[in-house]
Chains A and B, each alone.
Chain A
Amino acid sequence: MFRLEAKKPSLCKSEPLTSERVRATLSVLKGVLTSCYGPSGRLKQLHNGLGGSVRTTSQSSALLANLSVTHPILKILTTSVQNHVSCFSDCGLFTGILCCNLIENVHRMGLTPTTAIKLNKHLLSLCTSYLKSEVCGCRIPVNFSSTQILLCLVRSVLTSKPACMLTRKEIEHISTLILRAFLLTIPENTKDHIILGKSIIVPLKGQRVIDSTVLPGILIEMSEVQLMKILPFKKSDSFKVALFRVSLSGDLSDTGEGTVVVNYGVSLENAVLDQLLNLGRQLVGDHVDLVMCQKVIHPSLKQFLSMHHVTAIDRVGVALMEPLSKMTGTQPIGSLSSISPSSYGSVKDLCTEKFGFKWFFHLIPNEETVCSLLLGNRNDTVWDELKLTCETALHVLQLTIKEPCVLLGGGCTETHLAAYIRHQILHWKTREENNTCKYKTLNKPESILKDGWCTQTELQLTTEAFCSALESLTGSLEHDGGEILTDMKYGHLWSVQADSPSVVHWPDLLSRCGCGLYSSQEELNWSFLRSAQRPFAPQPCLPHEAVGSANNLTLDCFTAKLSGLKVAVETANLILDLSYIIEDKN
């Protein structure tokens, strides 16, 4: 215990959430996150006062990585969002805002944290079981025979990131490129399980977005001089490739723990060089056309190889090793002598490409599972943002292959879900009597009440807190002072311009709902989202014809959103459950 003397005692604070300061910081964070949300979200400029690059972004991953928060509660919240983003790439802002909303609402309603936590968990399981069920009214199964839905999904990801600064035409172009890049990574002849290839994003900073393109195979950037040296390639329909993991620079490998004594006059350099040239002879003898090395190739060996018309490329780097060996079918060689013929691979063709001022060496594979996505954008910061967005879109597509369904975007899923939950909780009694219960849910509300740890009022209040957290999340999609409406049939979201006349015929003002599935020409009733609503049962089971006809839907990734919802509620529960904070001041 005496060692502790040197340490300062910790600071212990009770009931952290009741403090005004904590609430204020939470609402600041919420403000930052909400203002970024959605296609019309505001951008944030991150810059260091001492100089360096400036980053303009509206994405949670870039924002939170650069934001240094000090309060432990905020730290929990932001790391939780960051961890979610690193798993799913998407729905980071959604998670963060929902979590803030939940905490705020529970506090505003004056609920005791203990019951709120338990009830939140029940409501969450109600949500997840509904979203996973067949009758879910906001889930669309993905049909892989047409690219329509996948394209909509990619387009939604791109439109929700305004910091990429893309025009409508550019969005179309980039989303097709992303989808093509993704489809190229799917192997053609699959067995039991698919192993996806890789799409490598190659920077073309300073080029126009429209010049971006997708090429099969791998591009290795080179200076023009270097490239001219290895030109011209011979004409052939297949090139034999050797890929080296071990360094070919002629350095001595590990000699063990003991000492090695070299007598005077013995030149190890010559010995190693002899060995390298022997290797070169073997490669030439094996009719290898292209030699690539992760590390450095000795100039003499390079010279030797080029004399025999073997192309040699070194310093490939560890990042490209795996795609290279996958694409060419080589085994990375770790030996300087006796190379097994089975470790050679092949490529279909070699050529050079020039984009802007950059020269690339292009390897075209026989079987296309690796492709390069060449991305251009006007400047560095916009390019960074676009790259991040493309990675997100590619990841989202991968997740969608695993779980082939998507959720309606544009806030419609959230309002629909809120309407569903409200209806479930408030009308379970009447439903029970009329026996019209259509949905089988895991946790019936009556079982919550029967256990006796919460009252009917507490249940209703928590439900209200939960649902309004979801609804105000969709409300933050609107940044220009417009109003948010919801219809009383599907529970979808509709937004109105700010300066619209007050009493009008709604169908004239509204055109399509948030996700674009329904048009205002149907006979619908609308109400303001903020106003008190009469609970209604949103119509389950999407009509197939509606999905088929609409070709410009806003969609969200199912897996990412579901997990985001769970993580948001869990994190909010965690924060609400805190009774003390012990801060180590050392």
Chain B
Amino acid sequence: MAAAGSVKAALQVAEVLETIMSSCLGPEGRQILCTKPTGEVLLSRDGSRLLEALHLDHPMARVMVACVSSHLRKTGDGAKTFIIFLCHLLRELHAVTDKGKDSFISKNIQTHERHWKNCCQWKYISQALLTFQTQILDYVMDHYLSRHFLSIFSSSTEERMLRRSSFELLLETYFCGRVGRNNHSFISELMCDYFFKCMACESEFEEVFELVDDYFVELNIGVTGLPVADSRIVAGLVLHRDFSVYCPADGDIRIVLATETIQPVFSTSGSEFILNSEAQFQTSQFWIVERTKAIMKYLQTQNVKLLLSSVKQPDLVIYYAELNGISVVECLSSEEISLIQRITSLSPFVLPQASSHHEVLNTAVVKFCKPLILRSKRYAHLGLISTCSFIPHCIVLCGPVQGLVQQHEDALHGAFKMLQQIFKDLDLNYMTQISDQNYTSNPLIYKTRESNQSSELVNDSIQRTYQGIDVKNKDELAKTQTYLKVYSNVVIPSVELEACISCSTPKVTPTDTYQADKTLRCLSANPRMIDDHDPFIVSDPTTDSTTENTRIEISYKNVLITKIAGIGNMLPERCKSLEVSSSQSYCFSSIPAGCVLPVGGNFEILLHYYLLNYAKKSQRSEATLVSVIIANALLSIPQILYKSKKGNHSFPQIYIRTLRALQANQPVVSSQTGLESVSGKYQVLTSVLQCLTKILTIDLVISIKRQPQKIHDQDSEEEL
């Protein structure tokens, strides 16, 4: 069986998925109920979960789901946006080719041949898409969009500090897409409180993210049957077990961890215990009892009031623990043990050998230890004192049904994953082909952005082309907008470049963009040699005076190093054009950590605007076509978001207002409060484009009867 793989088939599939996804997108999105074969009922607005629950059968759909899941493995967010983008791209493509069909293909060619022709055409388009993604998109992101970026870090110092207000806005946006409409503000407040309570020191938030992500299950407790508003944060760690023995204690409470039974046993594994007489048996039993008694007594003298054990302790141990006023919690999971170890850096208790009690006992201090009763279930509640940057707190999540509690748990966990993502720099890591002969003769494998490598390359190329290097502030570029004016400034010789790059601390992400430009003229007219190892300071006063506070952090992190390529190798028109993305350039830039934009389709409308602008100026027809298609498809997200809004807040109104503001160079005012990650959006867009190229290059779907090969099985291990 073979079926033609075409845009039309893919579009049909994508449209079905889109109707489902668009119903739960954004703050106005609704819930979807999923039932499991086991009879469990789950509420969800999580795109990946829904796609998984659908168990799709169609081959095209499976390709899409595979693409979404590989995207999610990378970023953990954006499944719904992915599907909607993809659908609209396909729709645009379909519309474009439908129109052009008559001119391309004459009517008398048979259908089959026409299909093959079509496929060749799709292949062509998919290549154009790839070029778009690697060249135009990153360029537009870097040059135009970046001027709108905001950062969620608060101060202008090198240390990255979180600003609570923007953090709240960011979370609010995230939960708008994940939990029910009545609960998002509540849950996002809860999460925000939780995070700031857990954080010991502002600068080490990344560790907190990592820890909470790793031990999320241990750090929250679901309670069903109570209204959602009863959810709360409790200080300390709540273990999902009850005390086996509880002895109330206050003051200096010390705890020990046990990973084996404290009572000695007759024989350990691999050994043999030979009983020769009844007396021997009685003596050894007596010894065991005495030994246990002695150990527990010893623990008491060390002020131990709580014994945490990963195994079930025998009755004897429990009895002596109670006699000595030691509370016991048994059967802790290995995750709980390792969480406690991580918080308190406590190592497990080692049974002292023979009668030597002189070994140093590993104990930790807790502030309190008491039972916590939630819905008639008892938990052990410990006030651990942290030795790391995480102050233990637990979230108690309430809800009328398990499905809702589960949804909130998933959303909170996802939020921590999202935050981890946002605090990473994202490289717009791409390299364009060089038409310059000087360069092509030089096999440059240029994948990393390690500073020595890049400086080597720069040195190398500088020697060859004998050019100056321009180090300038990127944000200033965004601000002043005129290219020539920006390129005013610091010119340092190649020797200094090394120093400059190496002096950029790990906190600072150098954004190296090597551009060929007509500014060469003005630069070569007045070459200045400034012996300055720290270009940041040079640009300091100007940025301070010209840019807003929020922009400053970005500006420090983004240093644009511009290299001027040889003028002789450039085509005259290219030289004149202001666009730098032409084939003579090397671009390595990045979206710095913590970059955000206001919500409500801001990213999409901005990118739409700049892509259209680009398309107008571009000479190549396929680039124009692809840019326009993508620009139009981008609008689908804000269209859905504003679907229910009326009057002044309807989509056309917002769209026109934004475009006017952009044309007039005024700041874009957003009606929405809330922020979203730029890198997340960007990654969705690139993943969609990759997925689309994959779909377009398929011309025939052949269904096979035999079992899929082993190779595929391994892939399927990683489900959504």
Q: A583 near B35 (CB under 8 angstroms)?
A: yes
CB <8 Å contact, A582 and B285 = no
> Is B278 engaged at the interface, CB distance under 8 Å to the other chain?
yes
1/0 per residue, CB under 8 A from A, across B18-31: the answer is: 01100110001011
Is A258 touching B273 in the complex (CB atoms < 8 A)?
Answer: yes
Are A584 and B34 in contact (CB-based, < 8 A)? yes
Q: Which residues of the partner chain A approach B293 to less than 8 Å between Cβ atoms? A: 338
Complex interface bits, A290-326 against B, C-beta within 8 A gives 1, otherwise 0: 0000000000000000000000000000000000000
**With contact pairs A1-B62, A337-B289 given, residues A257 and B269 touching in the complex (Cβ less than 8 Å):** yes
Q: Is B227 an interface residue (CB 8 A)?
A: yes
> Of A14, A83, A343, which contacts B225 at CB under 8 A?
A83
The reply to whether B36 and A584 contact each other, CB–CB distance below 8 Å, is yes
Q: Does A80 contact B (CB under 8 A)?
A: yes
Check if B404 is an interface residue, CB within 8 A of chain A. Answer: yes
A180 touches B (CB below 8 Å): no
Are A334 and B180 in contact, CB atoms less than 8 angstroms apart? Answer: no
Q: Which residue of B317, B323, B376 contacts A87 across the interface (Cβ within 8 Å)? A: B376
Question: At the interface, yes or no: A18 with Cβ under 8 Å from chain B?
Answer: no
Please tell me if A73 contacts chain B, counting CB pairs below 8 Å.
Answer: yes
Question: Known: A245-B319, A257-B265, A257-B269. Contact between A577 and B30, CB under 8 A?
Answer: yes
B residues less than 8 Å from A113 (CB atoms):
30
Q: Decide if B201 is an interface residue (CB 8 Å cutoff).
A: no
Does B567 sit within 8 A of A, measured CB to CB? no
Chain A residue with Cβ nearest B275: A262
In the complex, B301 has a CB within 8 A of chain A: no
Given the complex of chains A and B, what is the CA–CA distance between A343 and B180 in angstroms?
54
A86-B225, A118-B181 as given contacts; A257 in contact with B54, CB under 8 Å: no
Contact A16 B269 (CB under 8 A): no
Contacts of A333 in B (CB 8 A): 319
A259, B270: Cα distance in complex, Å: 8
Residues of chain A contacted by B225 (CB below 8 angstroms)? 80, 82-88, 567
A1 and B322 in contact, given A271-B282, A574-B31 (Cβ under 8 angstroms): no
Interface residues of B in 313-352 (CB under 8 A from A): 314-320, 322-323
Instruction: Give the distance in Å from the alpha carbon of A442 to the alpha carbon of B351 in the complex.
Output: 59
**Alpha-carbon distance A266/B279, docked complex (angstroms):** 9
Contact indicator A263/B274 (Cβ below 8 Å): yes
Interface residue count for B (Cβ, 8 Å)? Answer: 79
Contact stretch, chosen from A3-11, A140-148, A498-506, A515-523: A3-11
Contacts of B276 in A (CB 8 A): 263, 266
Decide yes or no whether B37 CB sits under 8 A from chain A: yes
- Report Cα–Cα, A581/B32, bound state, in Å: 6
- Distance in Å from the Cβ of A168 to the closest Cβ of chain B? 33
Complex Cα distance A586/B276, Å? 61
B343 to chain A, nearest CB (A): 28
Instruction: Closest A residue to B59 by CB, please name it.
Output: A1
Chain A interfacial residues counted at CB < 8 A: 78
Closest chain-A Cβ to B56's Cβ sits at a distance in Å of 6
Chain A neighbourhood of B520, CB < 8 A: none
- Structural contact, A578 and B713, CB atoms closer than 8 A: no
Is the Cβ of B404 less than 8 Å from the Cβ of A574?
A: yes
Q: Which chain B residues numbered 266 to 287 have a C-beta less than 8 Å away from chain A?
A: 266-278, 281-282, 285-286
Cα separation A478 to B356 with both chains bound (whole Å): 78
Tell whether B76 is near chain A: CB-to-CB under 8 Å. no
CB of A12 within 8 Å of the partner chain = yes
* B191 adjacent to chain A (CB < 8 Å): no
- CB pair B282–A274 under 8 Å, yes or no, is yes
Interface centre among B20, B271, B278, B404 (most CB of A within 10 A): B278
B residues 101-154 near A (Cβ < 8 Å) are none
| Residue pair B320, A274 in contact (C-beta under 8 Å) | no
Chain B residues closer than 8 Å to A82, beta-carbon distance: 225
Given the interface pairs A79-B41, A258-B267, A584-B53, the reply to whether A275 lies near B285 with Cβ below 8 Å is yes
User: Could you tell me if A83 and B275 are in contact, using CB atoms closer than 8 angstroms?
Assistant: no
Q: Is the CB of B54 within 8 A of A582?
A: yes
In contact, B267 and A256 (Cβ under 8 angstroms): yes
Nearest B residue (CB) for A562: B227
Contact of A2 with B by CB under 8 A: yes
B226 at the interface (CB under 8 A from A): yes
Given contacts A72-B33, A256-B267, A257-B269, contact A337 B286 (CB under 8 A): yes
- Judge if A261 is at the interface, Cβ distance under 8 Å: yes
A55 to chain B, nearest CB (A): 23
Q: Given A86-B375, A114-B181, A257-B265 in contact, is the A76-B403 Cβ separation under 8 Å? A: yes
User: Could you tell me the distance between the alpha carbons of A114 and B19 in the complex, rounded to whole angstroms?
Assistant: 18
Q: Does A570 contact B400, Cβ atoms closer than 8 Å? A: yes
A334 engages B315 (CB within 8 Å): yes
> Judging by beta carbons under 8 Å apart, are B226 and A563 in contact?
yes
B712 within 8 A of A: yes
Query: Which single residue of chain B is at the shortest CB-CB distance from A115?
Result: B644
The 8 Å CB contact of A567, one of B66, B227, B403, is B227
Q: Which B residues are in CB contact (< 8 Å) with A14?
A: 19, 23
CB distance from A567 to the nearest CB of B (A): 5
Residues from chain B with a CB closer than 8 A to the CB of A336 are: 285, 289
Q: Is A342 positioned at the interface, with any CB of B under 8 Å from its CB? A: yes
A260-B282 contact in complex given A76-B33, A331-B322, A582-B50, C-beta closer than 8 Å: no
User: B35–A72 contact, CB under 8 A?
Assistant: yes
The smallest C-beta distance from A442 to any residue of chain B, in angstroms, reads 12
Is B355 in contact with chain A by the CB < 8 A criterion?
A: no
Which residue of chain A has the shortest Cβ distance to B31 in the bound complex?
A: A577
B315, A256: Cβ atoms closer than 8 Å: no
B716 and A2: CB pair below 8 A?
Answer: yes
> Chain A contacts of B23 at CB under 8 A?
14, 579-580
Complex alpha-carbon distance, A10 and B17, angstroms: 13
**Interchain CB contact under 8 A, A584 and B41:** no
What is the 8 Å Cβ interface bit string for chain B, positions 636-663, against chain A (1 contact, 0 not)? 0000000010000000000000000000
A469 at the interface (CB under 8 A from B): no
CA A117 – CA B179 in complex, angstroms? 14
CA distance A270 to B281 in the complex (A): 11
Cα distance A408–B716 in the bound complex, in angstroms: 60
By the criterion CB–CB under 8 Å, are B274 and A261 in contact? yes
A4 touches B55 (CB 8 A): yes
Cross-interface CB contact of B37 among A117, A331, A563, A586, cutoff 8 Å = A586
Alpha-carbon gap, A274 to B282, bound state (A)? 9
Assuming A9-B57, A577-B181, A580-B20, is B270 touching A258 (CB within 8 A)? Answer: yes
Does A571 lie within 8 Å of B400, measured CB to CB?
yes
Q: Is A189 in the interface zone, CB < 8 Å from B?
A: no
Whether B275 and A79, one on each chain, are in contact in the complex, defined by CB atoms closer than 8 angstroms, is no
Residue pairs across A and B with Cβ atoms less than 8 A apart, 7 shown, are A3-B719, A4-B55, A83-B224, A86-B375, A258-B266, A267-B278, A581-B33
Interface residues of B (CB under 8 A from A): 19-20, 23-24, 28, 30-37, 39, 41, 43, 50, 53-57, 62, 65-66, 180-182, 224-229, 265-278, 281-282, 285-286, 289-290, 293, 314-320, 322-323, 375-376, 399-404, 644, 708, 712-713, 715-716, 719
Instruction: Give me the 3 closest cross-chain CB pairs, A-B, nearest first.
Output: A256-B265, A258-B267, A334-B319
Q: A79-B402, A258-B271, A334-B318 are in contact. List 19 more A-B contacts (CB 8 A).
A: A3-B713, A12-B20, A72-B41, A75-B41, A79-B401, A84-B400, A87-B376, A114-B181, A245-B319, A266-B281, A268-B281, A335-B315, A337-B285, A566-B229, A574-B43, A578-B31, A581-B34, A584-B35, A584-B36
